């Protein structure tokens, strides 16, 4: 255990930092080869303008459920945030505010 800590501490001092595609990269030399640690969050992907509420509300009930939200990936990803009143549906007003 002491050897591992010593190797990591020496590697931290000698490690080289780089940044690629929004992710950071730290290289720690080790006797068995470099240890590369990548961390961070990649930049957000550009999305086209959001579709109309009507195009997502496929059954015409005046709200978008989780299944319907899967037609637009950003909404599906943010569904619990878009559904402000937590009723399991995104209303037109919630969609416009999201």
CA dist 50 and 56 (Å) reads: 10
Residue range 22-48: mean pLDDT, rounded = 86
Average pLDDT, the chain: 81
List the domain boundaries for the chain.
2-39, 53-97
pTM of the model: 0.52
pLDDT for residue 21: 65
* Both structure tokens of 47: 């999305």
Q: pLDDT, tens digit, for every residue of 43-91?
A: 777 777 889 999 999 999 999 999 999 989 899 999 999 999 999 899 9
Which residues have a Cβ under 8 Å from the Cβ of 75 and sit 6 or more positions away? 50, 56, 64, 69, 82, 90, 95, 98
State how far the alpha carbon of 81 is from the alpha carbons of 18, 20, 26, 77, 78, in Å. 34, 30, 34, 9, 5
């Amino acid at each position: 255990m002491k050897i591992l800590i010593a190797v990591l501490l020496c590697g931290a001092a000698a490690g080289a930092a780089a940044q690629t595609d929004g992710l950071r990269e730290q290289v720690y030399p080790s006797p068995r080869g470099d240890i590369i640690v990548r961390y961070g969050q990649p930049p957000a992907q550009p999305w086209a303008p959001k579709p109309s509420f009507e195009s997502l509300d496929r059954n015409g009930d005046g709200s978008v459920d989780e299944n319907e939200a899967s037609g637009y990936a950003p909404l599906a990803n943010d569904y619990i945030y878009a559904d402000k009143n937590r009723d399991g549906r995104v209303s037109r007003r919630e969609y416009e505010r999201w």
